[in-house]
Amino acid sequence: MDAELTVMTRFCQDLKRIQLIQGSGKFVVQVLTGSAQSWDIYFYMGRIVWATGKKHRIRRWLRALKQHCPAMLNEEWARKISDRMTEQNSNGYWEVQVLDDAVQSGIMSLAQAKAIVNNYVQEAAFHAIDHNKLQCEWQTQKDLPQQFLWLDVDHVLNQASQFCNQWRGAISDKVKDTSLDLSPNRAPIIQNPAALQQKVSPATHQILTKLLNGQNTFWDVSLAMQRPMVQVVHSLLPLIYDSVIGLQEVPDLVFPTQRARIPQSATQPSKAVAAPVSKGLIACIDDSPVIGKELEAILSPLGYEVLSIIDPLQSISILIQKKPKLIFLDLIMPNTNGYELCSFFRKSAAFKDIPIVMLTGHDGVIDRLRAKVAGSTDFLGKPPEAEKVQQVVQRLLGEGFADDNSTQPNADRMSLHTAS
């Protein structure tokens, strides 16, 4: 513990020294223990302006947008961000260029941009403070990522120290004599589904089954559950001790670029293939932007535009404005559930005749019956399968539905067929 305090003290002293001399440049922090990683913390005139690490860079960026500016999680900004990534290459600070673009365009406020910068810096500081072996280097430089959002060193260190103390008090001290690697970058995965079902309530089981799929890190799970990460890990510790839940490393995500273009015919290479005629808008309400992207990839070639909404509380105003022809609705979301939202839609004149298809990782009879009572038109499992999605959309929006939705009673359109 003395060694850890020494490292923490030296790290804090280094940052305070840079603040004192009003340095401008890059402080390189190499973590040499556990999941080795490096961070670059940028200073301008003694204040922190940015921090970035190579590990899980895209995951961190998508989390920041989802938490602080979900309006940017659309196809238009996916293209812009992809262009910035290409310009800056993977070693540049393209995120800062995107923040500047977003603030200039008005889609993001300065407060939102500063919150994202603070998230990045706090994560870097936490990883540095929580390890007992660091290698640090100061590099003076004039070319800095940005100079319009500043963070005070003392404020950053106070926040990071508080978080680190919470982490150690709730978690690290309990596993220091074990071989468990409880890095926030690790992904929990259910290893014993039967035991999990016995140990937790049905509601908790449904949430954990959805989130603990081995693809979401503790950071990701924390955001999805809208709970502090320390609390999430601490609540899962008994299940981890009992080997009900395991831990694994996961790669970074691939940034979602613009939708795939329809390839030209091999027999007519000289002629461009015309874009499909627009058949209307389909909405997807799911707290995971990945589901929206998957539905878009399935339905765009058929001529449908897909609107992805990750915040269910904002969905009502958006849908009233956009007027989709069909709604895909996730069953389990952080602030509400699909049953409640579907029931609300059915009580509204604006939505009572729009087909609503429930999406869930649990495809049971009880779930289907509850969906029917709530007013759902159909029910599909997750992740969405292209063939089943196309079939349900064709059935609900094909001949006999596209032009006559208002005359079809909702109960008559309800289908609780067993998935083949």
The reported pLDDT for the residue numbered 93 is: 80
- In tens, the pLDDT along 342-390 reads 888 888 888 888 999 998 876 667 777 888 888 899 988 887 888 889 8
What's residue 63's pLDDT?
92
Mean pLDDT computed over 309-315: 78
What are residue 44's phi and psi, to 5 degrees?
Answer: -135, 120
Q: Which CATH superfamily is domain 280-413 in?
A: Response regulator (3.40.50.2300)
Q: What average pLDDT does the segment 212-236 reach?
A: 91
Q: Per-domain residue ranges for the chain?
A: 2-172, 180-248, 280-413
Assess whether pLDDT exceeds 70 at residue 131.
no
In tens, the pLDDT along 12-70 reads 899 999 999 999 999 998 877 655 578 899 999 999 999 988 889 999 999 999 999 98
pLDDT, tens digit (0-9, with 9 covering 90-100), for 78-116: 888 888 887 765 456 888 889 989 998 999 998 899 999
- The CATH number given to 180-248 is 1.10.10
Query: Does pLDDT of 180 surpass 90?
Result: no
Least confident range of 23-37, 186-200, 282-296, 394-408? 394-408
Answer whether 322's CB lies under 8 Å from 307's CB.
yes
289 pLDDT band, cuts 50/70/90, is: confident
Indicate the pTM of the whole model: 0.61
- Cβ-contact 381, 363 below 8 angstroms: yes
